[in-house]
Amino acid sequence: MLQTHNRTAFTESHALFRDEVRKFFAKHLHPNLDRWERDGIVDRDFWRACGAAGLLCPTMPSEYGGLGADFGYNIIIDEEMTYAGCSAGLGLQSDIAGDYILSYGSEDQKRTWLPRMISGEAIAAIAMTEPSTGSDLQGVRTTAIRDGDDYVINGSKTYITNGQNADIVITVAKTDPAQGAKGISLILVEAERSGFTRGRNLDKIGQHCADTSELFFTDVRVPVANRMGAEGAGFGYLMSQLPQERLSIAAAAQAGAQRAFDEAVRFTKERRAFGQPVFDFQNTRFTLADLAAELQVGWAHLDWCIARHIAGDLTAVEGSAAKLWHSELQWKCCDAALQLHGGAGYMNEYPIARLWRDARVQRIYGGTSEIMKEVIGRSL
């Protein structure tokens, strides 16, 4: 269990909510996690149960069915889910997609989709990455060409979280390919549209229960009313949401780092070698002491970031720095914890194996560590 008694970003109301999240996960997540990992997808029943419990899009206003809560509630869900060893795409729905629709969607789009996303009846994805573009969003090749009152969309996307389950896809496309970044728009594509198809549920190193997919758009016709915000303003919209997206990743990374550390402490105290617990060797204690100190710093920094974001002050550079630092710490903790498990760490029956696998992508998605350094470096 995450120790949260000394956290500074949360109130008593947050603590009560965290208790409810833990109880819910104990009943609905833990008994099903191994099956989801085998199946490569999370049951839609789980999404609906999350919605009924108030665990989806809690920051959304009450007029759409949300709790009207601050972003600390989202962070609690992110932390507890990652600490549990689960990679379901709730954070994508609650921390990213919901806010895009709330911030840039029309009133009709909000009333159509937000209540369903909050209840878990609708699952959202956001289609940015393409096979040839990666982090270079300005280089997307998917097009949405105006034809009367419609857009006709052609292109492909990959590595899309919630891709198999998604009912609605926020699609990054060029409405004016000649304008580069200024020609990018965000368009809502319903999954039942003719010409929209899902490719493979991708075979990943880790995060097996996340349905990460290829998506294809072949002459997909959607009304112009499906565009979110102004035509050509999509790149700016994407950039404005990055601090929150990267803070979410940072919070999950910190929780994952803590879980790996806790597993290492537990294992080394139980496993004996050369007549004594592995924990009693100086190398073990020094390794764990180093990680404990970095985790202490990490929790303090994360709470600072959370407080700044709730106040509306977290900058893009600060969000990038948080994503960089915490995701790198997660990898350091997971790799060191696996090493302290010895040969057992390489066995899938031990939680550290899943934690280690799941952690690797944290330094890639949401902007690679190298991109984070570039963002920070440009600000100096």
* Residues labelled catalytic: 245
Nearest-angstrom CA–CA distance, 165 and 335: 32
Nearest-angstrom CA–CA distance, 82 and 217: 32
Nearest-angstrom CA–CA distance, 369 and 354: 21
C-alpha R_g of the chain: 21
Cα 138 versus chain centre, distance: 22
Nearest-angstrom CA–CA distance, 77 and 1: 13
DSSP 293-346: HHHHHHHHHHHHHHHHHHTT---HHHHHHHHHHHHHHHHHHHHHHHHHTGGGGG
Answer whether 180's CB lies under 8 Å from 230's CB. no
Task: Give, for 190, the enclosing helix (H) or strand (E).
Answer: strand 184-190
